[in-house]
Structure 1
C-alpha cells in the first residue's frame, strides 16, 4: 500500500480547508474528497481540480496548502488539514485551535451521490434513481452529540444490504448489521460494514436485488472516533478498548476497504444521506469492454480484490477464470465482468491500483 505517509498519516478520511481570513475549517466537496483519497493512496501529494468558472484548485498535502489559481502566475492560498483513516488529526502549525465546522453543515445531495457512483465504477453503473434521506430532529441531535463526543473523524461511506433493509435504514433505523452478507470468514467482526466513499462497488456487490433486478445502497456519514484494525473472520462485536472513544473498526488502518460500526452504535454514529438505486445485471447489456489498459495491473491483487465482492458460491468460478488461459485480456475481462458485473469489475480495478 502506497499511502502518502506524510507526517505519519495514512489516507485522509476527511479533508478540511481554511479560507484566508476565516476562523472555521470546512469540508471539501465529496467528489473532490474521493479523488484526494485516491491520489493519496497512490502515494501522490498533489491534486489539481477545475472549478466551474475556469479557475483551478491545487491541493498540496506536503505544504498543507490549497491553492486557488485565478490565472497564469496568479493564486491565493488556503490552509489544508485532514483526519486520516485512523482518526489522527493533521493541522498546520498554529491552526489546530480553530473550530471545525460540524459535519452536519456540509450536505450531500442525490446528484452528487450518483456522480460518485458513476465516477468510481468508470461510468458503468446503471443508476435508476436517487433520493435524499431526511432524518428527524431527535436523530440529528443524537448524532451531533455523538460527533462532539467522538471527535472529528467523520467519514462518508456506502451501506449495502437487501432493498428492504436499505430503504428502512434510509427512513428510520438500521435493523441489523450486514456482516453476514460478506460471509463469516471475510467479515471484519460482527458489525455494520460500510465501504469508503470511492469504493461504492464493494457495498453494491453485497446489496441484494429485488425481483426486477434493482438494488440500492445508502451514502452515509459516519463517526468512528479511533477505530482499531480487525482481521477477517473475527467474531468481535464491541469496542474492546474502553479507554478509547471508538464506534467500530476497519480492515486496514492506513487505507481501509471496509469501515465497521458496532451494532450498539449503528443508529447513533451513522446518518444516511442519500439512497441510490441501480441495476444488478450482466455486463454485456452495457456495451463492449475496453480491450486494453494504459496501466500495469497486478493480476493476483485483482483476484484478491474481486474475492471481496463475490459470494462464496461463486469463488470457484472466479478461480477457474484466473487459472485458465482465456486467450487475451478482452476475453478474460469479459468472463470476469460477466460473473460479477461490469461496474463491480471496474471498481475492483480502481481499488487494485492502490494496493
Structure 2
C-alpha cells in the first residue's frame, strides 16, 4: 500500500472491482427532484445492467433528452425492441411488460454526474418489481441513506450495528502487512505522541460498493480529466455506532454536526492520510474507552474551497464536485451527502484507545470557540450569480470563470465585486438584490 503526501491512491494498489450487483432500494422523490432541477441537458443516459452502467443508445436518447429539457418527470421510450418508462425523479427505468426496475443515471452537457445511490441501482438479479415497492413512510429516506425527516440514523438493532466487528469487517492479525501499514500510518502521524494505542485493525468487506465507486471514478475521469477520477486515502471519524453503520450498510448521516461552527459545509468531513488526529477529534469513545476511525478511499473530482461555518450542502456550480477547507494543503475533504455512498469507500477500521482523547477534544472545541468565526460572505455569490444568469444568460461563462478565480483566491472580494458591477451593470445588480430581499 502506497500513501503519498497528497493522499492519492497509487494505481499499483487499486484492487479489481467486485462483481456483485448493487442491492435494491428506492430513492426519495425529494432528492430526485433536487437533482432533476439542478441538472443541465443530459449528454448521456445510463442504466445499471448486469452489475455495470451501460449507455442508453439509439433513437431513445434524443427523445429522452427532449423530455428532460421540457421538464417532464417521466418519458416512455423503446430500447432493444422493449418499451420502458424512464422515471427521472426516482432515477429508475421500468420495464413496461414486467414492471422490473433498474437504476437510471445521466451526465449532463457540463459534465455533471447524476447517479442514484448503490442501494437504488437494481439491475441484473437484483431488479425489483413495482409491486414490491416499500411503504410510503420508507420513501422519506433519501438515496444517500440519510433520513431527511429527522437527520438521525435509522433505528437498527445494536447487535446488527456491531456487525462490522464480525462478517462486515474481518479482524487482521498483527503480522498482516496491511495491519502494519495502516497502523503505522495512524500512529506515526501524531497519534502515538498523543498516547494512542491500537486495539484492532479490521478490513472492510465491500460487495457492491466497489463497483459503484469505480464507476464513479471512471465517470469523473471522463468528465473532468484523469486526475479528477484518481482516488485519495482519507480518514473518517465518528461515534462507534456511526462507524458500525458505515461499515455495515453505508453512510446514514454526515459528521459535520460534530464540528459545529468549524464545519466546511454540510457534508461528510474526512482528513488527509497524514492527518489522522484531525478525524480522531470527531471519534467518540464508548464506555470501555475504545474509539474508532475509518481509513477510506475518496473521490474528490474537482473540489472548491468552502469557508468554516458555511451551511453549503451541494456544489456552488456545476464546475465543482466536492469541497476542501483551503485549496493548498487542505486539512479537510468534504463529500456532499448526495455522493457519500458512491464516492467514499471504507477500507479499514482502526480501533484505538487514548486516555487523553476526551481532553484533546474538549481543548480543540474550546480553542475553536475563542477564534473569531470566519464570515461566510462567499455563500451569497452562487445565489446572486444564478439570478444574474437568468437576466443575462449570455454572460454566464465569464461570470463563472471569474467566480472560480475568486473561490481559488486569485481574485480578492473587492476586485470580484468591481468586476460584477462593470460587467453586468448596477441596474441588473439592483434588480437582483431587490428580488433576493423580496422587494
Q: Decide which of 274, 284, 287 is 1:211's aligned counterpart.
A: 287
Matched, 1:233 2:233: no
1:51-81 CA distance string (max 9 Å, x none)? xxxxxxxxxxxxxxxxxxxxxxxxxxxxxxx
Matched, 1:311 2:365: yes
Matched, 1:115 2:184: yes
Three-state SS of the structure 2 residue aligned to 1:169 is helix
Matched, 1:273 2:347: yes
Shift of 1:175: 0.9
Shift of 1:12: 3.4
Shift of 1:15: 6.8
Q: Decide which of 278, 292, 300 is 1:202's aligned counterpart.
A: 278
Cα pair 2:9 2:233 within 8 Å, conserved: no
C-alpha separation between the residues in 2 aligned to 1:257 and 1:309? 18
Three-state SS of the structure 2 residue aligned to 1:12 is coil
Map 1:151-162 to 2 at 5 A.
Answer: 151=221, 152-162=229-239
Higher-RCO chain (CA-CA 8 Å, sequence separation at least 6): 1
**What corresponds to 1:167 in structure 2?**
244
C-alpha separation between the residues in 1 aligned to 2:209 and 2:6? 27
Q: Decide which of 326, 345, 356 is 1:282's aligned counterpart.
A: 356
**What corresponds to 2:199 in structure 1?**
128
Cα pair 1:160 1:217 within 8 Å, conserved: yes
Three-state SS of the structure 2 residue aligned to 1:120 is helix
**What corresponds to 2:214 in structure 1?**
144
Three-state SS of the structure 2 residue aligned to 1:278 is strand
Cα pair 1:205 1:309 within 8 Å, conserved: no
C-alpha separation between the residues in 2 aligned to 1:111 and 1:172? 27
Structure showing greater Rg: 2
Shift of 1:312: 4.2
1:242-277 CA distance string (max 9 Å, x none)? 2x351x100011110000000000000000000001
Q: Decide which of 178, 181, 186 is 2:258's aligned counterpart.
A: 181
Cα pair 1:159 1:219 within 8 Å, conserved: yes
C-alpha separation between the residues in 1 aligned to 2:293 and 2:310? 25
Shift of 1:210: 0.5
C-alpha separation between the residues in 1 aligned to 2:309 and 2:184? 33
Shift of 1:241: 1.5
Given the superposition, is the C-alpha separation of residues 308 and 268 from structure 1 closer, same or farther in structure 2, using an over 3 Å criterion? farther
Three-state SS of the structure 1 residue aligned to 2:285 is coil
**What corresponds to 1:341 in structure 2?**
none
1:286-343 CA distance string (max 9 Å, x none)? xxxxxxxxxxxxxxxxxxxx89972349967x9xxxxxxxxxxxxxxxxxxxxxxxxx
Count of residues in correspondence between the two structures: 194
Matched, 1:191 2:267: yes
Q: Decide which of 2, 8, 20 is 1:14's aligned counterpart.
A: 8
C-alpha separation between the residues in 2 aligned to 1:309 and 1:215? 18
Structural RMSD (CA):
2.7
Q: Which runs of 5+ in 1 are unaligned?
A: 1-10, 17-24, 29-107, 284-305, 319-355
- Alignment TM-score, normalising by the size of structure 1: 0.50
C-alpha separation between the residues in 1 aligned to 2:304 and 2:363? 23
- Alignment TM-score, normalising by the size of structure 2: 0.41
